[in-house]
Amino acid sequence: MQLIDQNILLGVTGSIAAYKSVELARSLTEEGANVHAVLTESACRFITPYMFETITGNPACSDLFKEPFSHINLPKEARLLIIAPATANTLNKLACGIADNLLSSIWLAYEGPVIMAPAMNFRMYRHPIVQKQIKALRKLGVQFAGPVTGVLACGEEGKGRMADVSVIHEAAVRSLSVQDLKGQHILVTAGPTREPIDPVRFISNRSSGKMGYAIAAAALRRGADVTLISGPSALRPPDGADFIKVESASAMERAVFDNLRKATAVIMTAAVSDYSSRKIAKVKLKKKDSLSLNLKINTDILKKLGQKKGKRLLVGFAAESGKNIEHAKEKMKKKNLDLIVFNDISQKGAGFDIDTNVITLIGAKGGMKEYPVMSKMDAAGVILDRTGELLKDRK
Ligand code: CTP
């Protein structure tokens, strides 16, 4: 949503990673951005402007002298400048204000946000001159995505690989998002917990973690600091979150309370296991005709948080089979929550391991709103809208 109709200038410089910026142009365009690629002469040795033209539907420029004032007009229209890959040569030049080609001239004429994704050999990257210029560019407000450590095109291994396209894409989305949660620190729990029975078996809940990871990603986009505490999940944590991986409910409880101090809001999406085995076998149990487990109830983390929340905003989830709104309201009261997200898991479009959800938001001070089926990312958006409003009311 943040990229729709946004004019983005994509600067491409001469590195083998230039082929990945074609993919970046594609993913930005697919999300609705209007991408204009600007290639340096060296970039054109690796890829062609025509590739970008085909993908973006816009002319891709490389020649400073082809169209008068293109170095002034292109940046006037742009909301974001991304330089990916950014070579050592270009980084050094930009930091010194040398305007000897279309891209470096655009850089001087442009006044908006800039993201750079360096790509070079690790020795070049760690060279004091390159480091000094990166520091200078940061001071000017440039945001850096990567580089990352890995195998480089030359076959050596080290820090110099261009960041993944998805990471640069996400940085672009964040930079174009309204920063209404800046200054907030949101602690999000996600995924299931696992309660061991023996070294092989465990009790767990159905949960992919998708809802919680979406909330963490959306909060980061809106400028919040985020701590994501997650039970086992196959998902990749969003870049920039303080990520803590846990297994059991008791480990999640510890992690939540260890990280509570700096949080201004806690959003508990985790499907915490209500019970755990009193006895955990040290060796794998042999199969028998029947097995009885002696289970004890786990701490209700959210309830405990409700007793110790102080000024923090507390958001809980109520996954119910059926339209048990009253039960969700009771839960909110019992756990001293400010907001509860009710979802009827029996409804079409809601439930586990899918990308959509059907939610109803219920505020402790009233205000109930039912939403149609929507993507978990959009659901995260409406939950954060309401969380943001409640946080503002507290000031
Ligand atoms: N929760 C928690 N700790 C637990 C169990 C649940 O913090 N041990 C949190 C969940 O993260 C969720 C909320 O409590 O935000 C609601 O969980 P749910 O399982 O729907 O409700 P319960 O309180 O367990 O009640 P019931 O099983 O009767 O619906």
pLDDT tens profile 190-221: 999 999 999 999 999 999 999 999 999 999 99
Residues 290 and 154 in one domain: no
Centre of ligand 1 to C-alpha 392, Å, is: 27
Residue 21 lies in a domain: yes
Q: Which of 44, 61, 96, 154 is catalytic?
A: 154
- Tens of pLDDT, residue by residue over 134-166, are 999 999 999 999 999 998 888 888 999 999 999
Does 180 map to a domain? no
Q: What is the mean pLDDT of residues 1-25?
A: 95
| Same domain membership, residue 297 and residue 206 | yes
Ligand 1 centroid, distance to 379 Cα (angstroms): 19
154 and 211 in a single domain? The answer is no
Q: Based on the fold, state whether residues 150 and 193 are members of the same structural domain.
A: no
Any atom of ligand 1 within 6 Å of the Cβ of 273: no
**How much is the pLDDT for 279?**
93
**Does 96 share its domain with 197?**
no
Q: How many domains, in total, are found in the chain?
A: 2
Asked which of 140, 175, 210 is the last residue of a domain, the reply is: 175
Is position 86 within any domain? yes
What percentage of residues in the chain have a pLDDT greater than 70? 100
Domain match, 221 and 156 both: no
Same structural domain, 152 and 216? no
362 versus 70: which is more confidently predicted? 362
Residue range(s) defining the domain that contains residue 266? 185-393
How far apart are the C-alpha atoms of 84 and 166, rounded to whole Å? 12
pLDDT at residue number 386: 97
What is the 308 CA–ligand 1 centroid distance (Å)? 17
Residue 243 sits in a domain whose CATH number is 3.40.50.10300
pLDDT at residue 221, rounded to an integer: 95
State which of 148, 175, 202 marks the end of a domain. Answer: 175
How far is it, in rounded angstroms, from Cα 40 to Cα 27? Answer: 21
| Cβ of 300 less than 6 Å from ligand 1 | yes
Q: What local confidence, expressed as pLDDT, does residue 3 receive?
A: 93
Instruction: Name the residue type at position 349.
Output: G
Distance CA 314, CA 297 (A): 22
Q: Which long-range contacts (CB under 8 A, 24 or more apart) does 247-250 make?
A: 247/193, 247/194, 247/196, 248/193, 248/194, 248/195, 248/196, 248/273, 248/276, 249/193, 249/195, 249/273, 249/276, 249/298, 249/299, 249/301, 250/276, 250/298, 250/299
Task: Tell me, yes or no, whether 264 and 168 share the same domain.
Answer: no
Mean pLDDT of all residues in 374-381: 95
231 lines ligand 1 (CB under 6 A): no
Last residue of a domain, one of 175, 209, 227: 175
Same domain for 261 and 195, yes or no, is yes
Residues 56 and 200 in one domain: no
pLDDT at position 68 is 80
Cβ of 328 closer than 6 Å to ligand 1, yes or no, is no
Residue 255 has pLDDT above 80, yes or no: yes
Q: Is the pLDDT reported for residue 351 higher than 80?
A: no
pLDDT tens for 257-313 read 999 999 999 999 999 999 999 999 999 999 999 989 999 999 999 999 999 999 999
Per the domain annotation, does 369 fall within a domain? yes
Say yes or no: 340 and 282 in one domain: yes
Residue 154 is a catalytic residue = yes
Question: Considering the domain boundaries, does residue 198 fall inside one?
Answer: yes
CATH code of the domain covering residue 125: 3.40.50.1950
For the Cβ of 188 lying below 6 angstroms from any atom of ligand 1, the answer is: no
Ligand 1 centroid from CA 274, angstroms: 7
Q: d(Cα 229, Cα 297) in Å, to the nearest integer?
A: 21
51-55, 211-215, 347-351: lowest mean pLDDT where?
A: 347-351
